[in-house]
Copies of this chain bind each other. A is one copy, B any other.
């Protein structure tokens, strides 16, 4: 671990306008290939932190360095799964997934292959020609996930991507995400409310406290990749799960 961190968050604070402090003194260094989950109470600043990394909002104090660049300049390397599905209402499902590939100029055939494959992964091959308003909430979110995965970015920011999905679909997509990561390695930043998910996917879990958002605890997850689905039933896993839940509860209670 002697190489410089891919993402360096340096005593970052954030407030909107003259509002209260939303994030305070956030300090984090993330190496290439890590998968960091953020958990914390609603409104504690998780989305804001992701948006800071993506350069969609500016830090009020401190600084972020990503691969030696400012967040804005490093967007090249990143993609974002937003908390809302954020689909273009006038594009069909397949066209929505295709959009980032189209924008970066991938050739048509490659685009179509990738779109078809990703829709297969999220189980929406049959809905490829529908418009967003014809989808269920969970399906919309899956389109958004397919869109992000099709880009295969170096850094993937995921803001509660699986919140609107049933446990089974969720577990499957968790596994798919790890599989994709094994093939096309990316550094992940992941917001979730599911502790299980956080433990299963991450190398590290950052527990945030609220008002203002501060890093309360960082929990290392020692399990090696690839992680089989059954890992989730092992005692070590359940132990870490309990630890994380406790940390979260502690944060909540003060």
Using a CB–CB distance below 8 Å, which chain A residues touch chain B? 16, 19, 39-43, 46-48, 83-84, 127, 134-139, 142, 159-160, 163-170, 193-195, 245, 248-249, 252
Contact B42 A138 (CB under 8 A): yes
Q: Please, how many angstroms separate the alpha-carbon atoms of A159 and B170 in the complex?
A: 18
Contact B142 A167 (CB under 8 A): no
Contact B83 A164 (CB under 8 A): yes
Q: Which residue of B lies closest to A84 (CB)?
A: B137
When all copies of this chain in the complex are counted, the total is 2
Contact B193 A248 (CB under 8 A): no
Q: Please, how many angstroms separate the alpha-carbon atoms of A222 and B166 in the complex?
A: 24
Tell me the smallest distance from the CB of A145 to a CB of chain B, in Å.
Answer: 11
Contact A137 B41 (CB under 8 A): no
Q: Please, how many angstroms separate the alpha-carbon atoms of A40 and B248 in the complex?
A: 28
Tell me the smallest distance from the CB of A88 to a CB of chain B, in Å.
Answer: 17
Task: Give me the 8 closest cross-chain CB pairs, A-B, nearest first.
Answer: A42-B138, A83-B137, A168-B252, A166-B193, A43-B136, A43-B139, A163-B163, A42-B169
Contact A42 B83 (CB under 8 A): no
Q: Which residues of B contact A43 (CB under 8 A)?
A: 127, 135-136, 138-139
Give the most central of A42, A136, A165, A252: most B CB within 10 Å.
A42
Tell me the smallest distance from the CB of A44 to a CB of chain B, in Å.
Answer: 8
Contact pick for A160, options B83, B164, B169, CB 8 Å: B164
Q: Which residue of B lies closest to A166 (CB)?
A: B193
Q: Which residues of B contact A245 (CB under 8 A)?
A: 167
Tell me the smallest distance from the CB of A165 to a CB of chain B, in Å.
Answer: 5
Q: Please, how many angstroms separate the alpha-carbon atoms of A127 and B84 in the complex?
A: 21
Give the most central of A136, A165, A249: most B CB within 10 Å.
A136
Q: Please, how many angstroms separate the alpha-carbon atoms of A112 and B157 in the complex?
A: 40
Q: Please, how many angstroms separate the alpha-carbon atoms of A134 and B48 in the complex?
A: 11
Q: Please, how many angstroms separate the alpha-carbon atoms of A166 and B247 in the complex?
A: 13
Tell me the smallest distance from the CB of A150 to a CB of chain B, in Å.
Answer: 19
